[in-house]
Amino acid sequence: MAGEEKPYRVYRGGRAKGKVPAATPRPGRRTADSKGSRRDNQGGSRTDYRGPGARPDRQKNIRWGRRVGVGAVVLLLLILVWAIASWFAFSSGVSDANKRLTPDAKSVLAPESGLLLSHPTTVLLLGTDNSQVGNRTGDRHSDSILLLRTDPAHHRLYYLSIPRDLTVPIPGYGTQKVNAAFQNGGAALAIKTIHDFTGTDINHIVVVNFADFKDLIDALGGIDVNVPHPIRSNRFDCPYPTAARCSQWQGWRFPKGMQHMNGQRALIYSRIRENMLNPAETDVTRGARQQLVMDALASKFTSPSTLMGLPFNGGTLVKPLTTDLSASQLMQLGWVKFRSSASSSVHCRLGGDLGGGGGGSPSEDNPATIAMFLGKSAPQPPTGAFNPGCVTGHTLQ
């Protein structure tokens, strides 16, 4: 054994003589099998470590992350382009609508107290009857008169319908039917007349030309109106070309229930003054129908489908309008309408001596109804067909 070199073991402290012990796998350590995969001492097989570099699953996640990021950037760019195109198309049409309002009308409007998004505002809505139909050619009467008051703090809207045949003092023209104010002095005189009669400050005005009213609704794709009672009108605005065919025609028909109306149907529905199926209906009932149409129009105007189409029809939507409202204010008004609850909206009407040959004298209860419209008292329903009053959650019939 002398001169024969003995085996040694290596320790952290240096060499030591003796046999090299067999390697004993530690619990949980992995050993390689003949196929190159690693196997732990518990018998489980694991994937062999191939060396430095990113793992395949991590590379796959990175690729997907990049794709999602690129997609998000593209989507944001598309939204930005859509928003810019929508704004320019809409604001261009609103600018034309602003030019159609005379300076004297703008001068008599009450100043706004703040943003429409957060402050109450009152808007006068006038529907002018200058249709090129029958004997109404050149007629400039305000066929529909409606005050709209917003209450953004409570997400609530108030409507006040003023019957067109109600007789009121018109500055400079004596006592006449209220719809003659627009005929005699345009939007400015209509604002003054309704302000003096109701004692309500009017911040903005929107005039809807009935001759183009149907085009607006058609541009929106129609509106949905819930007709409360079946209607068969008298024979006005006959759709047929010959007198013989019109003499056989029974009038316009509207069944009860929810129905989709195009521009022509909505215009006819809002114009009906006589229901052959219910002789008790009056011009006051007609005002209620106009409220239904205006409310449905406002809902469609602020719907997501309308907003998506603004780059293509933004200018067309405001073509029938004459208003002082800017594009930004109309957007704010639309948002207030979108946020409002239909179940809490308050619908009011003024009343008077309107039936059976009455002269249209205003009801002595009109001031109380105006207080309801202004939110100063609780809504109370009308006590008669021609009496004033308010209801919550649905229109007056």
Q: Which pLDDT score, from 0 to 100, does residue 379 have? A: 94
For tokens 């919550």, name the residue.
392
Which tokens is 202 given?
Answer: 């009017």
For tokens 């004993």, name the residue.
24
pLDDT averaged over every residue in the chain: 80
Listed in sequence order, the residues at least 6 apart from 143 whose beta carbon sits closer than 8 Å to its beta carbon are 127, 128, 129, 164, 179, 210, 271
The whole-angstrom separation of Cα 161 and Cα 397 is: 12
Position 6, amino acid: K
Residues 389 and 348 sit within 8 Å (Cβ to Cβ): yes
Q: Which pLDDT score, from 0 to 100, does residue 319 have? A: 79
Residues 315 and 92 sit within 8 Å (Cβ to Cβ): yes
Q: Which pLDDT score, from 0 to 100, does residue 36 have? A: 47
The whole-angstrom separation of Cα 231 and Cα 376 is: 36
Statement: residue 396 has pLDDT above 60: yes
- Rg of the chain on CA atoms, in Å: 37
How far CA 351 is from CA of 123, 272, 304, 390, in Å, comes to 20, 19, 37, 11
* Pairing mode of beta strands 204-209, 321-323: antiparallel
Listed in sequence order, the residues at least 6 apart from 2 whose beta carbon sits closer than 8 Å to its beta carbon are none
Which tokens is 126 given?
Answer: 């006038």
What's the pTM?
Answer: 0.73
* Pairing mode of beta strands 389-392, 346-349: antiparallel
CB atoms < 10 A from the CB of 69, how many?
10
Residue of 375, 369, 310, 299 lying closest to 338 (CA atoms) = 299
Which tokens is 211 given?
Answer: 């001759």
Statement: residue 5 has pLDDT above 60: no
**CATH 3.40.630.190 is the classification of domain 85-392:** yes
Instruction: Report the pLDDT averaged over residues 184-194.
Output: 95
Q: How far is CA 379 from the centre of its chain?
A: 25
The pLDDT confidence band at residue 108, using thresholds 50, 70 and 90, is: very high
Domain boundaries, the chain: 85-392
Statement: residue 229 has pLDDT above 80: yes
Statement: residue 362 has pLDDT above 90: yes
Q: Which pLDDT score, from 0 to 100, does residue 113 have? A: 84
The whole-angstrom separation of Cα 20 and Cα 4 is: 16
Residue of 125, 110, 207 lying closest to 159 (CA atoms) = 125
